[in-house]
Structure 1
Amino acid sequence: MGGINIYCGSFSGGDKSGSAFESVLMEMKVMASAFEAETIDRLKTDLDKASDHLLIQASDAKNLLLLTRRYCVVINAQLAAPGDPLDQIARDEARGKADPTDLKYGAGLGWRAYCANDLLKAFEAAEAGAEPVALVW
């Protein structure tokens, strides 16, 4: 898998912005209500079974919208340049403490923020248009 792209309706996330999706889900779960955690567990199971894409139903996106907003506030506040995940990606890579592929799939703060921000936009699009969110690799 080279990376995961996020789509919903006319929204198309940044290049491979969904690559840290699994890590983002697990971090969000720590902040989740019991109901949100159940949705996350179901998505994680679906992700484990998927071969080249995952569809997140609009209802699940809506159920996770507020949690995703809260998570974005938390993770964006941790960035060296708040609100700039691409800057953080470069900083994470420059540190050289992890393999760039590991960073992309969730070991890097910048990649998690990049994913979370596009995931939030996709979930907002799903709520507005009642369309599923597609993660494609």
Structure 2
Amino acid sequence: MGTHATYATVYVGAHLGPSDSSLSLDWADDVGDVTDEYGFEVGTDDPRDPFVGIQAFDVGEYGHEILLNGEPLSGFDIPPNDGWQHWTDAVTGASLIEGENVLAVRRDEGTDDAFAVGTVRVHWKQPAGAEDAAPSDG
């Protein structure tokens, strides 16, 4: 049986940073050190080769984490970059599961860095005929 690629798109729209910092972004909600959890569906019990693409703005430090189902991805998740970047990271150290999954972004509290996250897209391959992903209302 073959596979096909699929993905789930999650709009985060969050400004992460210490309480005394602000990037003054009208499209991003100030969330402090961690975003809410955003739900998405995986339609297979065999997700293969998963990776995450994240839009981030004005990241100044290493150490911030992408969390999948409460577990941080291994390695560094979002590297420093002035202005906008789109970063892709393999899903290692965490797993996708069939059904409801959750995604969050956590700021390294040991820094005074402030940055914003726009959209995150989670990609994976699944056996042909498995149900495609759909963002949840969660």
Quickly name the TM-score band, shorter chain normalised. Answer: under 0.3
Normalization by structure 1: what TM-score? 0.25
Give the structure with the higher percent strand.
Answer: 2
